[in-house]
Every structure is written in structure tokens, then in C-alpha cells.
Chain A
Amino acid sequence: MGMDKLLVIGAALFCCGLYTILTRRNAVAVLMGVELILNAANVNFVAFSHYVSRVIGGQIFAVFVIVLAAAEAAVALAIFLRLYATTGTVEVDTADELKG
């Protein structure tokens, strides 16, 4: 195994997440990309916590990231559904009430 491989996995997750965010127009799909990025950070944290740190601060950090991801997802999805109720779309750039 080794730490390098885990970090490369983290980097791959990060880039997949970024690609999802950049290319998707559906807001729910963009949120999926964000979750991938958060998982990438968590893989890094846990790997560093195992191989580098004396205390398991990285695992604690990962716990908080998971908690906040859940809170953020709940709020974000409620917002998307509210947008769908008023406009009938959840696409990031079809909603164009605001621009200029």
C-alpha cells in the first residue's frame, strides 16, 4: 500500500469532482462533484493521520467534514427543490433571472 498510492487516489477523486463541477449544469450533479472533493480531502486526512501524525487529528477532521457535508447537502438540496418549485428547473445556467 503506502501513503503515496492513497494520496494519488485522493488526487484522482479531487479531479473527478472538479470535472463534474465544471461540466454539469444540473445543480444536484454539481453537488455530487462537491461530495467527491470532500471525500478526496478526507482520504488525504485519514492517510496523513495514519502515516504522519502522532495524534489522530486527521481522523477528527474527517469526522467534522462528514458532519458538515451532511448539513450542507441537506440545505443545498432543500434550496434546489425550492428553486425547482418556483422555476421548474435545477440547472445552474438555465436559471437566468439574474445576470449582467
Chain B
Amino acid sequence: MPLGNLASVSRFLPELAVTATILLLVAVHVVGKNRQSSASALLSLAGVGAALLLTALQPSMPAVSLFEGMVALDGFAVFFKALTALATIVVIFMSMDSAELSGKSQAEYYVFLLSVLLGMFLLSSATDLVMLYLSLELVSIPSYLLAGYLKGRKSSNEASMKYVVYGATASGVMIYGFSLLYGLTGTTQIAEIGRALATGKAALPLFLAAVMVAVGFGYKIAAVPFHMWSPDVYEGAPTPVTAFLSVGPKAAGFAVLVRFFYTVFASPDGAGGPWTLSSPVDWTLLFAVLSAATMTVGNLVAVNQKNVKRLLAYSSIAHAGYMLMGFVLLTPAGIQAILFYLVVYLFMNLGAFYVVILVANGTRSEDISDYAGLGSRAPFAAVSLAIFLFALTGIPPFSGFIGKVYLFAEVINRGVYWLAVVAALNSVVSLYYYARIVKVMFLEEPAEKAELAVPAFPRALLCLLAVPTLLLGVYWEPVIRVAANSVRLLAF
């Protein structure tokens, strides 16, 4: 039984903390005179920190439905809230260090960043189509603005324009799919839609609706063939924003993908799965093909990239493909593998982008050729980047390996051998382009020998990102347990 509006407020504290911070930022800094000061960064840090703390303290058992059935408070939602809040905190630190953003008006930047965070909170817990659409737009619209934040720079403007054109189209197609689902069932609650669809057998409209909704969500996680925006946006946007987009909204996209498809087009055998297909449309096969296409395209195109940000963009497309493997299996272990992979991916991907920022601060360049000799110019940054890249490749003893082991094990366990073979071949391809950067850094002679200074604070943050990347490769037990406990979707 969903709680009413007033009764829900006390279980909505993380979202309220973020909203209050947004309003404070607007009242104090956007309207005020000191828009360039770093005070707004500190205020947002405090706000997101408070939200993270409140999320950790949130009782997720038993799962409840809040605000008349608009959002769910369950282990799954709490996991994604904590994950996205953590990513946001790291990105705020990265933004404070970025030369691209210094001198710009700061207050608006953090308003957009926190709006996206609020959107991701709601997206990972939405259980009503209205709420789902609204939170998806709350993630998207400020993201367009963040991508175009360097408003005097051509590439940033172009990134923003491409993002908005593709994003608006994808969400339009998705909303048409929602309208078909609404017509078939007469309700906007996803749990009720799932129950109503389980009895009816209208294959054609369901297929169309599933494909159209997949367009909207696939665009958010940048799955092939809805990935065209992402390399351009990732290259043109300010680097901290790129790092944020490649982790935060992608994670929230996976959250909504799992919750929506597992509730509407499948029915659980218990609170934490396994699930059985309840619709006549075999969407798992569709997504298995998308998964294989996504990782293959991402990895093959990444091989020829010359710009580091663009290379990492294609690599993050490939990682979305790996994670999609866990989505098509309909088992708790598959979801658990996705959740674990997302934690690992957060550290390694944000870490890699952080090194890109630090190098760009010194060299003003994002070309791979300018990374030559980084091993002697800035040994600390070079070694960290090597750690993150090897973790992204997924070779032992780095954490990316463990993430892949869990995904592969479940894929093989469920007998989807062809997908496992494709993924294994892809990992081999990815080794080539990640290792190429490492080779350039350590084996090639730099054009300029001057040392690149990395200040103490970024060093500390790099350590904080590198330690989990290494540690989770040898001792991952606590995280996998949290992930296992978080595979609890609200069923009502």
C-alpha cells in the first residue's frame, strides 16, 4: 500500500537535501555577485555529502512505495542513490581542479549538476510513467546545459546542440511508446501495467512499445545504435562534465532500464527474482543482440581514436555493452553483477578522466600523442592512469577483472555462450587500445621534457580513486554482498 504525500516526506530526506541545496545555490550565488567564487562548490559538496549520508541511513527494508505510488524506496533505489551521489562528489572535486571551468560563473554549474543528481535519484526509484518521464528529463535538460557550459567554445556548443537534438528525439519516441502502454492497460503505474500485460496477449503493440521505450533508455546508457551522440558530446563537453555523464546518468539509465523492463515485461518469482518473461515479446534476445553490437562497435571504433576523451567515450560505450549482458539474463546474479560492475566502473572511469583533466591543465592538450613520455614528466599521474586503464581492460589483479568475472560467470551459467564469446573477443580488442596509451606514456620520448606538476590535493584524490580500483581486485567481498542485498525491486 503506497504511503500518502505527508507520510512520505520523512523517507524522502536525501532528495530534500539536494533540492534545498539547489535552492540555496540559486538564492545565494546565482542571484548574488560572487558567482565565480568556489563557495558554491563547497556548498554543493556539503549538500551532496548530506544526501549521501541520509541515503546510507535510509531504512530500505521493508520496501515501501512513496507519494501515492510515484517512487519506491527499496534496496535497489538506495544503492543507485548512494552510487550517483558518490560520483557527484568526485565530480565536484574534479570540477574545482579543472582549468577549463576556472574563471567561469560557478553557481549555475552546480545548480545544473545537482539538478541532474536529483533527477538520477528519482529516475532510479520512479515507479510511475509520469515520474519516470519527468525524472528522465530532469537528468537530460541540465545535462544539455552542462555539455554547453563553455559557451564561447565552438566544440562545447556543438556538443550541446547534438546532445539536445538526439536527446529530445529519443525522449519523444519513448513517450509515444509510453502512450501505447497506457492505452493497453489504462494506468500509469508500472506494477499495474505489468500485471495487466501478463494477462493480455497483444504481441504487436507490445513489441512496438518495448522498442520505443528501449530507444529512450538506450540513448541514456549510450547503447548502439543510439550512441551516435556520445563521442561528440564527450569530446566537446568540459572534461569534468564528460566524466560525470559517462558514470552518473549511465548508471541511472541502467537503474531505470532494469526496474522498468523487469516490472513491466517480466514477473518476479519472489521479491528478489529470478524473473520470468511475462510478455509475448522476447525482449531479452533483442537486448542480447544490442549488447553484443554495443561492445563490438565501441571497442572497434576506439582503436583508431587520437583524442583521449573520444577514446574514453567509445570505451564507455563498450562498457555499457558488457553491463547489458547482465541485464538480459533475468536472474538476481545478473543484476548483482551489473551493480558490482557499476561500482568498479565508477572508480576506474572517473579516475581515468581525472588524469585527463590534470594533464590537460598542464599541456592544454587531449591528444594521445601529447601523452608521450608522461611516465617521466609526471610519474604519479602516469602510473595512476596506467592502473585505471588496466582496470578498464579487465586484466587481473585489477578490479575490472573481478567485475567481468561476475558478468561472464552468470552469462555462461545461463548458457548464453555466444554472448560470452563475443565479450571475450572484445576484451582482447580493448587491451590493444588501452595498452597503446600506456605504451605512449612510458616508452615514447616526450617532445617536451619539462616536468608536469601535480599538486598535493589532486594527488590525494587520485589515490582515493586508485586504491579502491586496486583493492576491489583482491578483496571485493563486502561490495558484492551489498550488491546482492540491493537486488530487491519493490513489487506491489
Contacts and interface: CB of A to CB of B under 8 A. Distances in A.
- Are chains A and B touching directly in their complex (CB below 8 angstroms)? yes
Interface of A: 7, 10, 14, 17, 21, 27, 30-31, 33-34, 37-38, 40-42, 44-45, 47-48, 52-54, 57-58, 60-61, 64-65, 68, 71-72, 75-76, 79-80, 82-83, 86-87, 90, 92, 95, 97-100
A75 B183 contact: no
A100 B188 contact: no
Interface stretch (B4-12, B174-182, B246-254, B380-388): B174-182
B154 A48 contact: no
Contact of A97 (B180, B187, B188, B236): B236
A96 to B, nearest CB: 8
15 contacts: A10-B179, A41-B178, A42-B179, A48-B179, A65-B175, A68-B134, A72-B141, A76-B165, A86-B154, A95-B162, A97-B154, A97-B158, A98-B162, A98-B231, A100-B306
Contacts of A64: 130, 133-134
Interface residues of B, number: 45
Contact of A34 (B169, B236, B310): B169
Contact of B130 (A33, A60, A98): A60
B236 A45 contact: no
Nearest to A62: B179
A30 B229 CA distance: 15
A52 B183 contact: yes
B336 to A, nearest CB: 34
Contacts of B151: 82, 86
B289 to A, nearest CB: 23
Contact of A79 (B164, B175, B178, B307): B164
B168 A72 contact: yes
Given A60-B130, A97-B155, A79 B144 contact: yes
- The B contact surface, by secondary structure, is helix
A100 B165 contact: no
A98 B176 contact: no
Interface of B: 129-130, 133-134, 137, 141, 144-145, 148, 151-155, 157-162, 164-165, 168-169, 172-173, 175-176, 178-180, 182-183, 186-188, 231-232, 235-236, 304-307, 310
A99 B301 CA distance: 12
Nearest to B165: A30
A79 B160 contact: yes
A45 B144 CA distance: 27
Given A14-B176, A92-B162, A45 B169 contact: no
A83 B161 contact: yes
Contacts of B306: 100
Contacts of A97: 154-155, 158, 236
Nearest to A74: B141
A17 B152 CA distance: 32
A48 B180 CA distance: 9
Given A48-B183, A52-B183, A71-B141, A41 B172 contact: yes
B217 to A, nearest CB: 16
Contacts of A14: 176
A21 B152 CA distance: 27
B206 to A, nearest CB: 15
Contacts of B152: 86
Contact of A41 (B134, B175, B235): B175
Contacts of A17: 172
A53 B184 CA distance: 10
A73 B236 CA distance: 22
Contact of A95 (B145, B158, B180): B158
Contacts of A48: 179, 182-183, 186
B188 A38 contact: no
Nearest to A76: B164
A99 B232 contact: yes
A80 B161 contact: yes
Contact of A76 (B155, B168, B304): B168
B185 to A, nearest CB: 8
B176 A79 contact: no
Given A48-B186, A68-B134, A82-B148, A21 B169 contact: yes
A98 B164 contact: no
Ordered nearest first, which 4 A-B pairs have the shortest CB separation? A44-B179, A37-B172, A48-B183, A98-B232
Contacts of A53: 182, 186-187
A75 B175 contact: no
B254 to A, nearest CB: 23
Given A38-B175, A41-B175, A44-B179, 19 more contacts: A14-B176, A37-B172, A37-B173, A40-B176, A41-B178, A61-B130, A65-B175, A68-B134, A68-B137, A75-B164, A76-B168, A79-B144, A80-B161, A83-B161, A86-B154, A95-B154, A97-B158, A97-B236, A98-B236
A98 B148 contact: no
Given A54-B186, A68-B137, A83 B160 contact: yes
A27 to B, nearest CB: 6
B236 A79 contact: no
A40 B178 CA distance: 12
Contacts of B130: 57, 60-61, 64
Nearest to B304: A100
